Amino acid sequence: MPLQVGVVYVNLATKKFTAMSTIQYIGRFAPSPSGPLHFGSLIAALGSYLRAHSQQGQWLVRIEDIDPPREVAGASDDILRTLDAYGLHWHGTALYQHQRYDAYQHQIEQLISHDQAYFCQCTRKIIQASGGLYDGRCGQCQPRLSQGAIRIRNQARVDIFTDLVQGEIVVDSHFAAEDFIIKRSDGLYAYQLAVVLDDAYQGITEVVRGCDLLEASCRQISLFLQLGLNTPNWLHLPLACAEKGFKLSKQNHAPAIDTQHPQASINAALAFLGQPSVDIDSVDVMLQQAVAQFCLDRIPKHKEIVLAATNRAT
């Protein structure tokens, strides 16, 4: 039987948690098209895939292409081809965030009309001079500003949540209380808004991803609650690092994973996630075995793991 996930809603006025109806597990992998998939990307993709399939749930793919200046031409198609080469086949059609601009804008307009969001013209220099965190000054302007970045009036201010691997996560209360940006001054939609609206739109019940987004989860939870949306569970995997504090990333020119002979990379990613190795076979057979053997409790409870040099280009 599929895992029935209990979704929880929090009433902001009373702070009381209320259990909602149970739904089938839906997970996702959401890469940005800023370059080819590397070993760190594979860990996130494989970890989320195994978790979803071990719960007999759905595994979706979303291309997070809301930042055109950082995108690499052809990267979206390359990512999807790489997932196929690794047997990581997704349910339904891949969703592209650029298809959702109207939904983002509609939500922003609703927030502004209800005085739950406002324009801000503070520069990074101004914010740095006031201690490094935005102090809400533009939200008090009269008359209201009509240009600049747009910030949410952060009402939920979540500073603690439970992660299924990392345990209880407590973030700085000032960071949690900040009115964060939901649309940038250059007109691009902010990740925090897009990811929340898209996870709600796709019915995601659990977010599985790397620990680089661990603390940012508190802002996303705050936004889920403020918008009255069902909040998913959270599961953050250790980051693969070339050295302490230096994660593998496209920006750091991590090498692309091998699409011609993916079997070795699959077993290396399984080992990283604390899972047993599988027999070298077709990728589909390997993944079937990996799903059958998957155990959440085996995932290392670390925020990052430094790789041996020989594993970085696997």
Q: Known binder of ligand: residue 209?
A: yes
Q: Known binder of ligand: residue 138?
A: yes
Q: Known binder of ligand: residue 28?
A: yes
Q: Any idea what DSSP says for residue 70?
A: G
Q: Known binder of ligand: residue 304?
A: no
- Tokens 């890469």 appear where? 31
Q: Known binder of ligand: residue 244?
A: no
Q: Known binder of ligand: residue 241?
A: no
Q: Known binder of ligand: residue 191?
A: yes
- For the chain, report the end-to-end CA distance as a whole number of angstroms: 35
Three-state secondary structure call for residue 86? coil
Q: Known binder of ligand: residue 120?
A: yes
Q: Known binder of ligand: residue 134?
A: yes
Binding-site positions for Zn(2+) read: 120, 122, 134, 138
Binding-site positions for L-glutamate read: 28-32, 64, 191, 209
Binding-site positions read: 28-32, 64, 120, 122, 134, 138, 191, 209, 250
Binding-site positions for ATP read: 250
